[in-house]
Structure 1
Amino acid sequence: MASMAACPVNRACVSIGKQHDGTQAAYFDGEGGSNGDRLACLTYVVHDPKGWRGVRSQCPAGFPAVGKGGLVWLGGVTASCGANVRSSPGPKGKVVACLQHHTPVSIDGGPVYAPMSSTDGIWWHLAGRGWMADNFLIYPEICGCD
């Protein structure tokens, strides 16, 4: 819907706001909620050979998004190396570093869609570090993962 103000009483609604374009990927700010209770939401889409498709929507959310900070998240299992940081997005990017679980990061570029079998294909540039797959980034306020 165009505005959460138009959401009927006792009904869950979602609104889509500003579009942020990347390379073969984009995300939208938005809100979700009911009865005046609202959460910030982000919706992520990618463009593959079949056209644009939704990857996910998450509420509450403020990360990953350009200009925001969050954490590296390994699902509670910390591998010996951690999450790979690459010189360019996707499987062809050289691994330039590994970041451990709960390492704070800031995003200064993206999203870029670069398919890789073990990820959803969305990549973000971490300030001063390189590129990381979206699957390993989480907003601290929603983590509750440990």
Structure 2
Amino acid sequence: MTNTTAPDKSLSATKVSNVDLQLCFALYSASLSMTKTYKPLLSKLKLTYPQYLVLLVLWEKDGMTVNSISERLFSDSGTLTPLLKRLEKLGMIQRQRAREDERKVIITLTEAGRLLQTESTNVHSQIACSTGCTITELQALNNQLIMLRTNLIKNLNTV
């Protein structure tokens, strides 16, 4: 259930304009820090963070359309296409037009892409250690962020 309580009106204009008090800035700066933490780990695998996200999705379910991957990652297919072409050049995936509808492109892992899943198993645990949080804290934070994302998406057209 969405909390429809109005924001606290007692915040002064000075406090509201402080960047450190902005949820958007906390999320943005945490995201930048997270990506920087991933960078050296993924560089050993010769991957960028967005490429890693695509592979995570394909490791969950291989043989997805570009649009399905795009929806799963909350991105647009135009941004995803160049990234997929680079993964294909690296030999991690194959792109094929669907037989029943040539407008759809199916993305499947290659053997190298599947093997990379095994090589990347320590990435998640290293990231978890880097946070300084317990597993329970990370799960709670993840659940809160998913709820926040869901509510923001649901209310996009009402702002």
Same fold (TM > 0.5): no
Rg comparison, structure with higher value: 2
When normalised by structure 1's length, the TM-score is: 0.20
Q: Which structure is higher in helix share?
A: 2
When normalised by structure 2's length, the TM-score is: 0.19
Q: Which structure is higher in strand share?
A: 1
